[in-house]
Amino acid sequence: MKLLNDFFSIVHSEDTPDGCGYTLRLNADHAIFQAHFPGNPITPGVCIIQIVSELLELQTRQKPELRNIANVKFLNILSPQEHPEVQAEIRLAADENGNYKIKAALKSGDTLFAQLSIRYADDSES
């Protein structure tokens, strides 16, 4: 299930020396937030992982397959009501086989919501 342009939208993007940076707007009216949790919406961790994966797909113009989550830390609750816009920073390294190792962070100002280290593989031969 794609979340881009439904659960979240991209307000701004820019290339960085080792990856990319995005400003994202969360859709507080999305059905996921109605269920998680009614009256107190919280962004599910799996949605944060999916957001990062979709941003990597945009950056690489490929559809890499998530292979391994080496490390993930959810450090603060991400509420679309309190933080409708967040910054996503993705640093990526690719090898000659189309595999990616990324480090990502979602934050707003000084508040860090999540840090992730994920490995992806080229899915073009699947």
Quick: pLDDT tens for 33-83: 999 998 999 999 999 999 999 999 999 998 999 999 999 999 999 999 999
Q: Does residue 59 belong to any structural domain of this protein?
A: yes
Q: Does residue 1 belong to any structural domain of this protein?
A: no
Indicate the residue type of 97. N
How far apart are alpha carbons 93 and 107 in whole angstroms?
A: 21
Burial class of 67 by CB neighbour count within 10 A (0 to 12, 13 to 18, 19+): middle
Q: Does residue 93 belong to any structural domain of this protein?
A: yes
Give me the CATH number covering residue 39: 3.10.129.10
How far apart are alpha carbons 25 and 84 in whole angstroms?
A: 6
Residue listed under structure tokens 């990319």? 20
Q: How many domains does the chain have?
A: 1
Q: Does residue 90 belong to any structural domain of this protein?
A: yes
For the chain, counts of helices (H) and of strands (E) = 2, 6
* Segment 1-19 mean pLDDT: 96
Residues 41 and 33: beta-carbon distance below 8 Å: yes
Q: Does residue 2 belong to any structural domain of this protein?
A: no
Q: Does residue 3 belong to any structural domain of this protein?
A: no
How far apart are alpha carbons 34 and 41 in whole angstroms?
A: 7
Compute the mean pLDDT over every residue in the chain, rounded to the nearest whole number: 94
Domain with 83, as residue range(s), is: 8-121
Q: Does residue 126 belong to any structural domain of this protein?
A: no
Residue listed under structure tokens 């992982």? 49
